[in-house]
Amino acid sequence: MSKTKRIFYSIIVCSVGIIVDFVLSAVKLYVGLRSNSIIILSDSVHNFMDGIGLSIAVLGFALMTKDPSERLPEGFGRLEYLSSFILSVLLIGTGVYFAYSSIDRIFYPYPISFTWLRFAIIAITALAKLLLGFWFKYHNKRINSGVLKTAQFDSWLDFGITIMTLIGFSLTVYTQLRLDGIFGIILSVIIIIGGIKLFKENIIAILGDKIDDETTNKIYEKIIRHTYISQVENIKIYDYGIGRRTALVTVEFELGVDLNTIKTVIDEITAEIQNLFELEIKICIKGGRDERDKDKTPQKTEG
Ligand SMILES: [Zn+2]
Protein backbone atom coordinates (compact mmCIF):
# COMPACT_ATOMS: atom_id res chain seq x y z
CA MET A 1 0.00 0.00 0.00
CA SER A 2 1.37 3.41 -0.91
CA LYS A 3 1.98 6.02 1.77
CA THR A 4 -0.87 8.26 0.65
CA LYS A 5 -3.27 5.35 0.33
CA ARG A 6 -2.32 4.17 3.83
CA ILE A 7 -3.07 7.63 5.23
CA PHE A 8 -6.50 7.88 3.59
CA TYR A 9 -7.26 4.35 4.71
CA SER A 10 -6.39 5.30 8.31
CA ILE A 11 -8.54 8.42 8.13
CA ILE A 12 -11.57 6.38 7.03
CA VAL A 13 -11.00 3.72 9.72
CA CYS A 14 -10.67 6.40 12.43
CA SER A 15 -13.67 8.38 11.18
CA VAL A 16 -15.92 5.37 11.71
CA GLY A 17 -14.56 5.22 15.27
CA ILE A 18 -15.27 8.92 15.81
CA ILE A 19 -18.90 8.56 14.72
CA VAL A 20 -19.42 5.49 16.94
CA ASP A 21 -17.79 7.22 19.93
CA PHE A 22 -19.89 10.37 19.68
CA VAL A 23 -23.12 8.41 19.24
CA LEU A 24 -22.28 6.19 22.25
CA SER A 25 -21.34 9.22 24.30
CA ALA A 26 -24.70 10.88 23.55
CA VAL A 27 -26.66 7.71 24.36
CA LYS A 28 -24.81 7.25 27.66
CA LEU A 29 -25.19 10.91 28.55
CA TYR A 30 -28.95 10.55 28.14
CA VAL A 31 -29.20 7.31 30.15
CA GLY A 32 -26.74 8.58 32.78
CA LEU A 33 -28.71 11.77 33.37
CA ARG A 34 -32.06 10.01 33.47
CA SER A 35 -30.89 7.30 35.86
CA ASN A 36 -28.54 9.51 37.86
CA SER A 37 -25.69 7.00 37.60
CA ILE A 38 -22.19 8.42 37.88
CA ILE A 39 -20.55 5.43 36.22
CA ILE A 40 -22.75 5.74 33.15
CA LEU A 41 -22.07 9.48 33.00
CA SER A 42 -18.32 8.93 33.36
CA ASP A 43 -18.49 6.36 30.62
CA SER A 44 -20.20 8.96 28.45
CA VAL A 45 -17.42 11.48 29.10
CA HIS A 46 -14.88 8.78 28.37
CA ASN A 47 -16.44 7.99 24.97
CA PHE A 48 -16.55 11.69 24.17
CA MET A 49 -12.80 11.93 24.90
CA ASP A 50 -12.23 8.88 22.71
CA GLY A 51 -13.97 10.69 19.87
CA ILE A 52 -11.84 13.81 20.45
CA GLY A 53 -8.68 11.70 20.56
CA LEU A 54 -9.47 10.01 17.27
CA SER A 55 -10.29 13.40 15.74
CA ILE A 56 -6.80 14.57 16.70
CA ALA A 57 -5.41 11.40 15.09
CA VAL A 58 -7.33 12.13 11.87
CA LEU A 59 -5.92 15.66 11.86
CA GLY A 60 -2.45 14.16 12.28
CA PHE A 61 -3.00 11.76 9.40
CA ALA A 62 -4.31 14.60 7.23
CA LEU A 63 -1.12 16.61 7.91
CA MET A 64 0.95 13.58 6.98
CA THR A 65 -0.25 13.91 3.36
CA LYS A 66 1.72 17.15 3.12
CA ASP A 67 5.01 16.90 1.28
CA PRO A 68 8.27 17.35 3.11
CA SER A 69 9.37 20.96 3.04
CA GLU A 70 12.74 22.66 3.37
CA ARG A 71 11.98 23.27 7.03
CA LEU A 72 10.79 19.69 7.58
CA PRO A 73 12.87 17.58 5.21
CA GLU A 74 11.60 14.33 6.65
CA GLY A 75 7.96 15.32 6.41
CA PHE A 76 5.19 14.80 8.92
CA GLY A 77 5.48 11.02 9.24
CA ARG A 78 6.23 11.05 12.93
CA LEU A 79 2.99 12.91 13.67
CA GLU A 80 1.36 9.50 13.79
CA TYR A 81 3.45 8.69 16.87
CA LEU A 82 2.47 12.00 18.40
CA SER A 83 -1.23 11.29 17.77
CA SER A 84 -1.12 7.93 19.51
CA PHE A 85 0.81 9.59 22.34
CA ILE A 86 -2.02 12.12 22.77
CA LEU A 87 -4.56 9.26 22.73
CA SER A 88 -2.74 7.54 25.58
CA VAL A 89 -2.56 10.77 27.60
CA LEU A 90 -6.31 11.22 27.15
CA LEU A 91 -6.81 7.66 28.33
CA ILE A 92 -4.88 8.31 31.55
CA GLY A 93 -6.76 11.58 32.06
CA THR A 94 -10.06 9.77 31.70
CA GLY A 95 -8.98 7.19 34.27
CA VAL A 96 -8.06 9.87 36.80
CA TYR A 97 -11.31 11.73 36.22
CA PHE A 98 -13.24 8.48 36.55
CA ALA A 99 -11.50 7.63 39.84
CA TYR A 100 -12.24 11.08 41.23
CA SER A 101 -15.95 10.93 40.42
CA SER A 102 -16.22 7.39 41.80
CA ILE A 103 -14.68 8.36 45.15
CA ASP A 104 -16.98 11.34 45.23
CA ARG A 105 -19.94 9.05 44.62
CA ILE A 106 -18.98 6.73 47.49
CA PHE A 107 -18.97 9.61 49.96
CA TYR A 108 -22.02 11.35 48.55
CA PRO A 109 -24.31 8.61 47.29
CA TYR A 110 -27.31 9.48 45.16
CA PRO A 111 -30.34 7.30 44.53
CA ILE A 112 -30.10 5.60 41.15
CA SER A 113 -33.12 5.02 39.01
CA PHE A 114 -32.77 1.68 37.28
CA THR A 115 -34.92 0.38 34.44
CA TRP A 116 -34.36 -2.67 32.22
CA LEU A 117 -34.72 -0.51 29.13
CA ARG A 118 -31.77 1.61 30.26
CA PHE A 119 -29.91 -1.58 31.08
CA ALA A 120 -30.57 -2.88 27.55
CA ILE A 121 -29.46 0.37 25.91
CA ILE A 122 -26.15 0.32 27.77
CA ALA A 123 -25.69 -3.37 26.89
CA ILE A 124 -25.99 -2.46 23.20
CA THR A 125 -23.38 0.29 23.59
CA ALA A 126 -21.03 -2.28 25.13
CA LEU A 127 -21.51 -4.54 22.12
CA ALA A 128 -20.83 -1.59 19.81
CA LYS A 129 -17.44 -1.05 21.48
CA LEU A 130 -16.57 -4.73 21.21
CA LEU A 131 -17.26 -4.63 17.47
CA LEU A 132 -15.38 -1.35 17.09
CA GLY A 133 -12.36 -3.03 18.66
CA PHE A 134 -12.52 -5.78 16.02
CA TRP A 135 -12.85 -3.09 13.36
CA PHE A 136 -9.58 -1.44 14.49
CA LYS A 137 -7.83 -4.79 14.90
CA TYR A 138 -8.79 -5.95 11.42
CA HIS A 139 -7.57 -2.76 9.75
CA ASN A 140 -4.47 -2.51 11.91
CA LYS A 141 -3.38 -5.85 10.46
CA ARG A 142 -3.23 -4.16 7.07
CA ILE A 143 -1.55 -0.88 7.97
CA ASN A 144 0.14 -1.45 11.32
CA SER A 145 -0.42 1.88 13.05
CA GLY A 146 0.12 2.85 16.68
CA VAL A 147 -3.03 4.93 16.44
CA LEU A 148 -5.20 1.95 15.50
CA LYS A 149 -3.50 -0.24 18.07
CA THR A 150 -4.24 2.27 20.83
CA ALA A 151 -7.81 2.66 19.55
CA GLN A 152 -8.31 -1.10 19.51
CA PHE A 153 -6.99 -1.45 23.05
CA ASP A 154 -9.23 1.37 24.19
CA SER A 155 -12.32 -0.09 22.52
CA TRP A 156 -11.96 -3.46 24.20
CA LEU A 157 -11.18 -1.79 27.49
CA ASP A 158 -14.36 0.24 27.03
CA PHE A 159 -16.28 -2.94 26.37
CA GLY A 160 -15.06 -4.26 29.74
CA ILE A 161 -15.79 -0.93 31.41
CA THR A 162 -19.33 -0.81 30.09
CA ILE A 163 -19.98 -4.42 31.15
CA MET A 164 -18.78 -3.57 34.65
CA THR A 165 -20.86 -0.41 34.53
CA LEU A 166 -23.88 -2.58 33.80
CA ILE A 167 -23.12 -4.92 36.68
CA GLY A 168 -22.58 -2.02 39.04
CA PHE A 169 -25.69 -0.27 37.73
CA SER A 170 -27.99 -3.26 38.26
CA LEU A 171 -26.47 -4.47 41.55
CA THR A 172 -26.83 -1.07 43.13
CA VAL A 173 -30.57 -1.42 42.79
CA TYR A 174 -30.81 -4.81 44.49
CA THR A 175 -28.26 -4.33 47.24
CA GLN A 176 -27.68 -1.55 49.70
CA LEU A 177 -23.97 -1.50 48.87
CA ARG A 178 -22.46 1.54 47.23
CA LEU A 179 -21.30 -0.54 44.31
CA ASP A 180 -21.60 2.24 41.78
CA GLY A 181 -18.58 4.08 43.16
CA ILE A 182 -16.60 0.96 44.09
CA PHE A 183 -16.90 -0.47 40.58
CA GLY A 184 -15.94 2.92 39.24
CA ILE A 185 -12.67 2.87 41.19
CA ILE A 186 -11.77 -0.62 39.99
CA LEU A 187 -12.44 0.46 36.39
CA SER A 188 -10.42 3.63 36.68
CA VAL A 189 -7.41 1.71 37.96
CA ILE A 190 -7.67 -0.59 34.91
CA ILE A 191 -7.89 2.42 32.57
CA ILE A 192 -4.93 4.18 34.19
CA ILE A 193 -2.70 1.08 34.05
CA GLY A 194 -3.60 0.50 30.38
CA GLY A 195 -3.05 4.16 29.60
CA ILE A 196 0.40 4.20 31.23
CA LYS A 197 1.44 1.13 29.27
CA LEU A 198 0.47 2.73 25.96
CA PHE A 199 1.96 6.05 27.07
CA LYS A 200 5.34 4.35 27.56
CA GLU A 201 5.11 2.61 24.19
CA ASN A 202 4.29 5.86 22.43
CA ILE A 203 6.99 7.87 24.19
CA ILE A 204 9.52 5.32 22.99
CA ALA A 205 8.20 5.61 19.43
CA ILE A 206 8.47 9.41 19.58
CA LEU A 207 11.99 9.39 20.99
CA GLY A 208 13.05 6.96 18.28
CA ASP A 209 12.55 3.30 18.99
CA LYS A 210 15.46 0.98 18.48
CA ILE A 211 14.74 -0.71 15.18
CA ASP A 212 14.35 -4.40 15.84
CA ASP A 213 17.53 -6.39 15.42
CA GLU A 214 15.66 -8.73 13.12
CA THR A 215 15.33 -6.09 10.39
CA THR A 216 18.95 -5.08 10.79
CA ASN A 217 20.07 -8.71 10.57
CA LYS A 218 17.93 -9.38 7.52
CA ILE A 219 19.38 -6.34 5.75
CA TYR A 220 22.85 -7.59 6.61
CA GLU A 221 22.07 -11.07 5.24
CA LYS A 222 20.68 -9.66 2.00
CA ILE A 223 23.67 -7.41 1.32
CA ILE A 224 26.46 -9.78 2.31
CA ARG A 225 25.06 -12.35 -0.12
CA HIS A 226 25.93 -10.15 -3.10
CA THR A 227 29.05 -11.04 -5.02
CA TYR A 228 32.02 -8.72 -4.65
CA ILE A 229 30.88 -7.55 -1.21
CA SER A 230 33.41 -8.51 1.43
CA GLN A 231 32.00 -6.72 4.46
CA VAL A 232 28.86 -5.00 5.66
CA GLU A 233 28.94 -2.81 8.74
CA ASN A 234 27.29 0.04 10.63
CA ILE A 235 23.71 -0.61 9.63
CA LYS A 236 21.71 2.25 11.08
CA ILE A 237 18.01 2.76 10.53
CA TYR A 238 16.36 6.13 11.05
CA ASP A 239 12.62 6.20 11.53
CA TYR A 240 10.75 9.31 10.38
CA GLY A 241 7.35 7.62 10.45
CA ILE A 242 5.98 4.59 8.70
CA GLY A 243 7.04 4.53 5.05
CA ARG A 244 9.71 7.11 5.80
CA ARG A 245 12.55 5.06 7.15
CA THR A 246 16.12 5.46 6.00
CA ALA A 247 18.90 2.93 6.40
CA LEU A 248 22.56 3.88 6.34
CA VAL A 249 24.91 1.04 5.51
CA THR A 250 28.65 0.85 5.00
CA VAL A 251 29.90 -1.85 2.65
CA GLU A 252 33.34 -2.93 1.61
CA PHE A 253 34.04 -4.39 -1.82
CA GLU A 254 36.54 -7.09 -2.56
CA LEU A 255 39.83 -5.89 -3.94
CA GLY A 256 40.10 -5.45 -7.66
CA VAL A 257 36.44 -4.81 -8.43
CA ASP A 258 36.06 -2.18 -11.13
CA LEU A 259 33.93 0.92 -10.73
CA ASN A 260 31.22 -0.17 -13.16
CA THR A 261 30.65 -3.39 -11.25
CA ILE A 262 30.55 -1.49 -7.98
CA LYS A 263 27.94 0.83 -9.42
CA THR A 264 25.84 -2.09 -10.70
CA VAL A 265 26.02 -3.95 -7.38
CA ILE A 266 25.12 -0.81 -5.43
CA ASP A 267 22.11 -0.24 -7.70
CA GLU A 268 21.03 -3.86 -7.25
CA ILE A 269 21.30 -3.68 -3.46
CA THR A 270 19.49 -0.37 -3.32
CA ALA A 271 16.55 -1.66 -5.35
CA GLU A 272 16.40 -4.94 -3.45
CA ILE A 273 16.45 -3.41 0.04
CA GLN A 274 13.99 -0.67 -0.86
CA ASN A 275 11.53 -3.22 -2.20
CA LEU A 276 11.90 -5.73 0.59
CA PHE A 277 11.92 -3.45 3.61
CA GLU A 278 10.10 -0.38 2.30
CA LEU A 279 12.84 1.93 3.36
CA GLU A 280 15.27 4.23 1.69
CA ILE A 281 18.87 3.06 1.73
CA LYS A 282 22.04 5.08 1.57
CA ILE A 283 25.19 3.07 0.99
CA CYS A 284 28.67 4.22 1.88
CA ILE A 285 31.59 2.40 0.33
CA LYS A 286 34.55 1.79 2.55
CA GLY A 287 38.10 0.89 1.73
CA GLY A 288 37.38 -1.09 -1.45
CA ARG A 289 39.95 0.18 -3.89
CA ASP A 290 39.74 -0.81 -7.50
CA GLU A 291 42.69 -1.67 -9.67
CA ARG A 292 43.21 1.84 -10.97
CA ASP A 293 43.24 3.31 -7.48
CA LYS A 294 45.85 0.85 -6.41
CA ASP A 295 48.12 1.91 -9.25
CA LYS A 296 47.80 5.56 -8.34
CA THR A 297 47.69 6.70 -4.76
CA PRO A 298 46.55 4.03 -2.37
CA GLN A 299 44.03 5.82 -0.22
CA LYS A 300 41.73 4.67 2.47
CA THR A 301 38.40 6.38 2.25
CA GLU A 302 36.50 5.95 5.43
CA GLY A 303 32.72 5.95 5.65
ZN1 LIG B 1 -12.24 4.60 25.57
> SS3 of 26, please?
helix
- pLDDT tens-place string over residues 106-131: 787 667 777 889 889 999 999 999 99
- Shared domain for 119 and 183, answered yes or no, is yes
Let me know if residue 301 belongs to a domain: no
Number of domains in the chain: 2
- Shared domain for 188 and 261, answered yes or no, is no
**Residue 15: pLDDT over 80:** yes
Let me know if residue 226 belongs to a domain: yes
DSSP conformation class of 239: E
How many whole angstroms from 150 Cα to the centroid of ligand 1? 10
Q: Of 283, 273, 291, nearest to 232 (Cα)? A: 283
Let me know if residue 73 belongs to a domain: yes
Phi, psi of 246 (to 5 degrees): -125, 135
Helix (H) or strand (E) holding 229: strand 229-239
Phi, psi of 56 (to 5 degrees): -65, -40
So what's the pLDDT on residue 23? 97
- pLDDT tens-place string over residues 200-235: 887 877 776 666 677 788 888 888 888 888 888 878
Identify the residue with better confidence: 244 or 123. Answer: 123
Last residue of a domain, one of 172, 187, 207: 207
- Give the CATH number of the domain where residue 166 resides: 1.20.1510.10
- Shared domain for 66 and 142, answered yes or no, is yes
- Shared domain for 157 and 227, answered yes or no, is no
All residues with CB under 5 Å from ion ligand 1: 50, 154, 158
**102 Cβ contact list (under 8 Å, min separation 6):** 38, 39, 42, 180, 181, 182, 183, 184, 185, 187, 188
**C-alpha to C-alpha distance for 23 and 31, rounded to whole angstroms:** 13
- Shared domain for 60 and 15, answered yes or no, is yes
- Shared domain for 136 and 187, answered yes or no, is yes
What is each CA distance from 37 to 164, 185, 244, in whole angstroms? 13, 14, 48
- pLDDT tens-place string over residues 67-100: 777 766 666 667 777 877 887 888 888 788 878 8
- Shared domain for 49 and 190, answered yes or no, is yes
**12 Cβ contact list (under 8 Å, min separation 6):** none
- Shared domain for 36 and 142, answered yes or no, is yes
- Shared domain for 119 and 230, answered yes or no, is no
Highest mean pLDDT among 120-124, 158-162, 169-173: 120-124
How many whole angstroms from 116 Cα to the centroid of ligand 1? 24
For strand 229-239 and strand 280-286, is the pairing parallel, antiparallel, or unpaired?
Answer: unpaired
So what's the pLDDT on residue 185? 85
- Shared domain for 24 and 138, answered yes or no, is yes
Identify the residue with better confidence: 17 or 265. Answer: 17
- Shared domain for 184 and 228, answered yes or no, is no
How many whole angstroms from 60 Cα to the centroid of ligand 1? 19
Let me know if residue 278 belongs to a domain: yes
How many whole angstroms from 173 Cα to the centroid of ligand 1? 26
- pLDDT tens-place string over residues 16-47: 999 999 999 999 999 989 988 777 887 888 88
Average pLDDT over residues 179-204: 81
Burial of 121 (0-12, 13-18, 19+ CB in 10 A): middle
Average pLDDT over residues 175-193: 77
Let me know if residue 303 belongs to a domain: no
**C-alpha to C-alpha distance for 59 and 54, rounded to whole angstroms:** 9
Could you list the residue range(s) of the whole structural domain that residue 261 is in? 213-295
- Give the CATH number of the domain where residue 236 resides: 3.30.70.1350
How many whole angstroms from 157 Cα to the centroid of ligand 1? 7
- Shared domain for 220 and 197, answered yes or no, is no
Last residue of a domain, one of 163, 179, 207: 207
How many whole angstroms from 91 Cα to the centroid of ligand 1? 7
